[in-house]
Structure 1
Amino acid sequence: MDLRAWCAALCAATVGLVGCGGDSGTSGTNGSPGGSGSGAGSGQGSGSSGQGGSFGEGVGSGIGEGSGTTGGGGNGAGSSGCEHVDVVFALDNSSSMDEEKATMRDVVFPAFAQALLDIDSIRDFRAAVMDACPLPATFHTRGAGGECSFQSGKAWMESTSTALTSEFQCAADLYGDDVECSGDSDDEQPASSVAAALEPPFSTAENAGFLRDDALLVVVTISDEDEQPVPRQTPQQIHDRLVAAKGDAKNVVFLGIAGRRQCEGAYGDAEAARDMQELVSLFAADGRGFFWDLCEGHLEDGLTNALAAIEEACVEFVPIN
């Protein structure tokens, strides 16, 4: 199916999306923001803002319930908000993640990229890819097959690229010969790696210029094990590091993709990611945290659920002076 048609079908299938959210997509530990998607917004925006949220109209914020936004007003008169989005994907590069990485690379990202640009208020986005080892916490500009040669000429991709999908596919085919992690669980810390990438020395050197003051930050992490920062950090500490990069918790949308429990899931084995779920719950306090359960599969539904929050976050975006 054509990607535009795929996205349009998802947007239109309100009831179906809530069904997909099922046990996987909820606010706090999974899916889209808590509350009801049936409230009318005051603007004329499309998607989840405006008239109640076409990404999910169900009610509920408990675990296992998909839900829509609260009708945040769209992008009508009197609205402000972001026009730009900066997205960082951190992918666990373990051999057990081959199926998940392939799905992200070939199915999820192309549709997600198009869906972002279909949000009325968003003019452009940039996307960076990295692995789950913070040493070095640099964005990938080459894949296992060689240099990706981004049209941007930077360490990240721009949505204006005419080869955006192939650029992402190149970078997401992760090159791992430069990592300094031992592979003994210290290479499975995707959220910590993103935090390090957005802090000195990496934010002022290899990754310099990626974050824009007027852009919403979206962090997507995926691992079939739990977040295992080295040296040890609590979920609260990781949360605070990511928020510090944008100055306001409402300017960060965080999607954690991992196992809610130990399972043999759609993509193979997954461990119970308790710290990742706690990290997500901290972002969920501001309506910005989402957990998607690898045990359920359907990664495309996880990112689609997050689109509603991205649109609402853009409406509420607070530029940092």
Structure 2
Amino acid sequence: MELRAWCAALCAGTMGLAGCGGDSGSGQDIGSPGASGGGFTGGGASGQGGDAFGRGGGILGAGVGGANGGIGSHGEGSTGCEHIDVVFAVDNSRSMHEEKESLREIVFPAFARALLDIEGLTDFRAAVLDACPLPANFHARGASTEDCSFQSGEPWMDSSSTNITGEFGCAADIYSGDAQCSGEDDDEQPVSAIAASLEAPFSTGDNAGFLRQDALLVVVAITDEDEQPVPSQPPQALHDRIVAAKGDAKNVVFLGIGGRSACEGAYGSAEQADTLQAIADTFTADERGFFWDLCEGRLEDGLTNALTAIRDACMEFVPVPN
């Protein structure tokens, strides 16, 4: 689908999702995949029928409800969020060429536009890094561009930019020239890289000032192999490191994108990402963890589905005092 048409469909669907209130269509869980091994698992609910672009009341169309059916006022005791901080970590190995092209040309620009249409959201920030946690500094350049010229003046993008889609496109040409990993599987740690970027010394160094106390944190980890922490860490430990940055698991949305099984898919080969799936599962108790099957292709659908969780998490957001 041509980019302009895709963006229009996605944004229109998101506006329908964020702007509606009261009753919704009959909800059904966005649960585990069907017999065909579909891609998306996690919490939340959607209206009956339709697809990710809102045709027939799908994920972002009419009749979409939250986990409790309907988009009403904020839950008791919550204040809702006006700000979102997003961190993307992308495996930059040679086998990721097709995925990076899709991210650069379609997914990142459209995702930026869709976030801007979430009702009540004042702004968002977005940072990009590769999958090596040494160093875990956010990238203000692309592999072939010395400087992405972020209008924020920071190593992250801000939604106030008049060139936000262009900035996303530049950053999606993932740079890893400063990586200190050996390249022997230790450069395929997107979740570990995200966790490290939110911790000292990186959170108090080049990344200082990115995380905001009153912002929902959204993290997206993408690889066609699997998370391979060095040194080895269990999924729960990585979950806890990311949550520690926000103080409450409900203030974090996690999306893992990898192979549900080994396959030759739409973007070439992918290995089975058992660890990445297990990390996503640690967030599902709070309906904040999701996994998209890279073998199914359509990275845009993975992020489209995550918008439902982001919207719901925003509605329930309660800042945790420092």
TM-score interval, normalised by the smaller of the two chains = 0.7 to 0.9
SS at match of 1:295: helix
Distance in 2 (alpha carbons) for counterparts of 1:144 and 1:205 = 22
**Alignment partner, residue 104 of structure 2:** 105
Q: CA deviation at 1:106?
A: 1.2
Distance in 1 (alpha carbons) for counterparts of 2:63 and 2:66 = 6
**Alignment partner, residue 26 of structure 1:** 41
Q: Is the 8 A contact 1:258 1:293 kept in 2?
A: yes
Q: Is the 8 A contact 2:263 2:270 kept in 1?
A: yes
Aligned with residue 55 of structure 1, among 50, 55, 60? 60
**Alignment partner, residue 68 of structure 2:** 70
Q: CA deviation at 1:74?
A: 3.4
What amino acid is the match of 1:55? Answer: L
* Over 4 Å off, 4+ runs: 8-15, 34-38, 56-59, 75-79
Give the alignment's Cα RMSD to 1 decimal.
2.8
**Alignment partner, residue 216 of structure 2:** 216
**Alignment partner, residue 274 of structure 1:** 274
**Alignment partner, residue 297 of structure 1:** 297
**Alignment partner, residue 142 of structure 2:** 143
What amino acid is the match of 2:9? Answer: W
Q: Which runs of 5+ in 1 are unaligned?
A: 28-32, 39-46, 60-66
**Alignment partner, residue 174 of structure 1:** 174
**Alignment partner, residue 241 of structure 1:** 241
Distance in 2 (alpha carbons) for counterparts of 1:77 and 1:139 = 34
Alignment of 1:123-202 (within 5 A): 123-145=122-144, 146-202=146-202
**Alignment partner, residue 88 of structure 1:** 87
SS at match of 2:203: helix
Q: Is the 8 A contact 1:36 1:57 kept in 2?
A: no
SS at match of 2:242: helix
SS at match of 2:286: coil
Q: Which runs of 5+ in 2 are unaligned?
A: 18-24
Distance in 1 (alpha carbons) for counterparts of 2:142 and 2:204 = 23
What amino acid is the match of 1:252? Answer: V
Q: 1:3 to 1:53 in 2, by over 3 A?
A: closer
SS at match of 1:196: helix
Percent of aligned positions with the same letter in both sequences? 63
Q: Is the 8 A contact 2:181 2:187 kept in 1?
A: yes
SS at match of 1:290: strand
Q: 1:258 to 1:76 in 2, by over 3 A?
A: closer
Q: Is the 8 A contact 1:53 1:71 kept in 2?
A: no
SS at match of 1:285: helix
**Alignment partner, residue 122 of structure 1:** 121
Q: CA deviation at 1:37?
A: 4.7
Q: 1:53 to 1:123 in 2, by over 3 A?
A: farther
TM-score, scaled to structure 2: 0.84
Q: CA deviation at 1:313?
A: 0.2
Q: 1:76 to 1:208 in 2, by over 3 A?
A: closer
Q: Deviations over 1:5-57 (max 9, x none)?
A: 22145557999xx8xx8611121xxxxx255657xxxxxxxx99xxx985379
**Alignment partner, residue 21 of structure 2:** none
- Does residue 1:283 correspond to 2:283, yes or no? yes
Q: Is the 8 A contact 1:107 1:300 kept in 2?
A: yes
**Alignment partner, residue 312 of structure 1:** 312
Q: 1:263 to 1:139 in 2, by over 3 A?
A: same
Q: Is the 8 A contact 1:53 1:308 kept in 2?
A: no
- Does residue 1:7 correspond to 2:7, yes or no? no
SS at match of 2:81: coil
Distance in 2 (alpha carbons) for counterparts of 1:284 and 1:108 = 24
Distance in 2 (alpha carbons) for counterparts of 1:216 and 1:298 = 25
Q: Is the 8 A contact 1:243 1:252 kept in 2?
A: yes
Q: Is the 8 A contact 2:59 2:305 kept in 1?
A: no
Distance in 2 (alpha carbons) for counterparts of 1:96 and 1:274 = 19
**Alignment partner, residue 258 of structure 2:** 258
Q: 1:112 to 1:262 in 2, by over 3 A?
A: same
Q: Is the 8 A contact 2:46 2:58 kept in 1?
A: no
Distance in 1 (alpha carbons) for counterparts of 2:135 and 2:275 = 22
